[in-house]
């Protein structure tokens, strides 16, 4: 992608093929999915033909750089690709890090053929933003990790085929609590792993949000992701870049809401005039568009920095914090533009309003993003 926003031929083809797939297979099916409350597994199969390889394969076999992946995340938001599929694609970056070769191949192949939905279970009832203080623990017994603890507010626990779980594998020391954390992949079929649904504001499918309880769950030692006690750094790396993709998903969603509002404002007459003619309406949309475009450009800068191996922590946090706030505000204003017609459940804006609110919490809140930016600006010793 150039600075002027034009795409290379390859980027155009990848984005357009996803757009085409979404137009044909997602938009017409959405109402039915919501009525059934069943996550459509066929979607994973469809995406496997198109883009699932993007996050796990080498570049010459279908893998893409982060900038190209960003175009896909934005498109997924625009067409409201269900979040379990969106997150699986990003969590899949951890599959090539599974330590045992056979296990690694098995899960990568299942993912590539569209037979694997993943969830990442890191938050606990007592610890969300402070993700290094977790208490879920795992220890080795006869070449198996034995896991005990509880995770909370997790996306897709009742849908996922495998869970990537953060656990404490060595004693916690207050000064370096992030040092003793590992990531372990646990198959949903393992006995002792139970999931519980918490319906939330934006729930669409059974099992798309809730808790995971681990009661003496035994999983092979080779299921560890990376090395023991080094999981926190991997998690921060993956979530650092995932933040930008979540931001782009929210921005894509919000841009589609603005498009709806613009079309509506050009057809709805009130007091004898199209409402687009009232500056209160059109300037508000102009403001929202400006903020979304700024956040979007920052997102692609953050991804380009990552592709060049440069630090992008502050830029990523701007996208997740400011970008998701701008997205929520834009969707809320778009709904307002439609008046009562936007407030009914049959309107996609009602759904987008609830979904975009969640992005202000999941994967790190705007407050925590400001903390990260402040640390970069002031240095750790002077930041809050
Ligand atoms: C839609 C959604 C999807 C989610 N998906 C997942 C998932 O897939 N996997 C998973 O593990 N978790 C998931 N979560 C959980 C999410 O990661 C946590 O909710 C989030 O990290 C915040 O943690 P908390 O809710 O415990 O809030 P807390 O950490 O208790 O924070 C409470 C409030 O204090 C603020 N705060 C915290 N620290 C500071 C500070 N230093 N300075 C100023 N303010 C501060 C926060 O911003 C927040 O407003 C999801 C949550 C939502 C809403």
- pLDDT tens track for 136-169: 999 999 999 999 999 999 999 999 999 999 999 9
Please tell me the predicted confidence (pLDDT) of residue 241. Answer: 96
Report whether pLDDT(177) > 80: no
The tally of domains found in the chain comes to 3
Per-residue pLDDT, averaged over 319-342, amounts to 98
What is the dihedral sign for C-alpha 364, 370, 373, 379? negative
Q: Is the model's pTM score more than 0.95?
A: yes
pLDDT per residue over 289-326, tens digit each? 999 999 999 999 999 999 999 999 999 999 999 999 99
Cβ–Cβ < 8 Å for 281, 265: yes
At 174 the pLDDT is 72
- Nearest residue CA, atom 25 of ligand 1? 128
User: 203, 230, 257: which is the final residue of a domain?
Assistant: 230
What pLDDT was estimated at residue 171?
A: 83
> Do 46 and 100 form a contact (C-beta atoms < 8 A)?
no
Same domain, yes or no: 249 and 374: yes
Residue 245's pLDDT band (cuts 50, 70, 90): very high
Distance 199 CA to ligand 1 centre (A): 17
Residue 311 CA to ligand 1 centre (angstroms): 24
Task: Tell me how far the alpha carbon of residue 330 lies from the centroid of ligand 1, in angstroms.
Answer: 22
Nearest-CA residue for atom 37 of ligand 1: 129
Q: Is residue 383 part of a domain?
A: no
Identify the band that residue 3 occupies on the pLDDT scale cut at 50, 70 and 90: confident
Residue 250 within a domain: yes
243 with 374, same domain? yes
For ligand 1, atom 39, the nearest C-alpha belongs to 368
State whether 238 and 370 are in the same domain: yes
- For residues 238 and 367, membership in a common domain is answered with yes
Contact partners, residue 204, CB within 8 Å, separation at least 6 = 33, 34, 37, 82, 351
Burial readout 75-91 (b: 16 or more C-beta within 10 A, e: otherwise):
bbbbbbbbbbbbbbbbb
How many A from CA of 237 to the centre of ligand 1? 18
Q: By C-alpha distance, which of 317, 260, 246 is closest to 288?
A: 260
CATH number of 88's domain: 1.10.540.10
Residue 51: per-residue pLDDT: 92
What residues make up the domain containing 334?
Answer: 233-378
CATH of the domain at 288: 1.20.140.10
């Amino acid at each position: 992608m150039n600075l002027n926003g034009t795409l290379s031929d390859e980027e155009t083809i990848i984005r357009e093929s996803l757009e085409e797939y979404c137009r044909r297979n997602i938009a017409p099916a959405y109402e039915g999915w919501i009525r059934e409350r069943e996550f459509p597994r066929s979607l994973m199969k469809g995406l496997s033909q198109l883009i699932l390889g993007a996050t796990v394969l080498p570049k010459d076999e279908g893998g893409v750089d982060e900038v190209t992946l960003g175009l896909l995340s934005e498109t997924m938001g625009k067409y409201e690709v269900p979040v379990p599929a969106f997150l699986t694609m990003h969590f899949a970056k951890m599959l090539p890090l599974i330590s045992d070769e056979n296990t690694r191949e098995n899960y990568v192949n299942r993912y590539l053929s569209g037979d694997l939905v993943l969830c990442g279970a890191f938050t606990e009832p007592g610890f969300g933003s402070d993700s290094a203080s977790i208490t879920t623990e795992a220890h080795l017994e006869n070449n198996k990790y034995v896991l005990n603890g509880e995770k909370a507010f997790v996306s897709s626990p009742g849908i996922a085929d495998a869970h990537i779980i953060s656990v404490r594998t060595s004693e916690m020391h207050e000064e370096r609590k992030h040092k003793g954390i590992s990531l372990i992949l646990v198959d949903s079929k393992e006995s002792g792993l139970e999931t519980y649904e918490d319906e939330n504001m934006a729930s669409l499918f059974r099992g798309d949000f809730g808790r995971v309880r681990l009661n003496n769950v035994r999983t092979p030692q080779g299921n560890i992701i990376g090395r023991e006690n080094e999981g926190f750094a991997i998690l921060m790396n993956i979530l650092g870049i995932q933040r930008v993709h979540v931001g782009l998903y929210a921005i894509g969603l919000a841009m589609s809401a603005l498009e709806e509002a613009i079309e509506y404002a050009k057809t709805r007459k009130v007091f004898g005039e199209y409402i687009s003619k009232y500056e209160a309406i059109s300037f508000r949309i102009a403001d929202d568009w400006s903020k979304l475009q700024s956040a979007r450009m920052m997102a692609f800068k953050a991804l380009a920095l990552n592709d060049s191996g440069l630090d992008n922590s502050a830029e990523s946090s701007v996208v997740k914090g400011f970008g998701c706030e701008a997205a929520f505000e834009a969707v809320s204003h778009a709904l307002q533009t439609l008046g009562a017609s936007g407030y009914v459940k049959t309107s996609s804006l009602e759904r987008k309003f609830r979904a975009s609110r969640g992005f202000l919490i999941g994967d790190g809140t705007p407050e925590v993003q400001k903390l990260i930016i402040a640390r970069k600006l002031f240095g750790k010793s002077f930041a809050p």
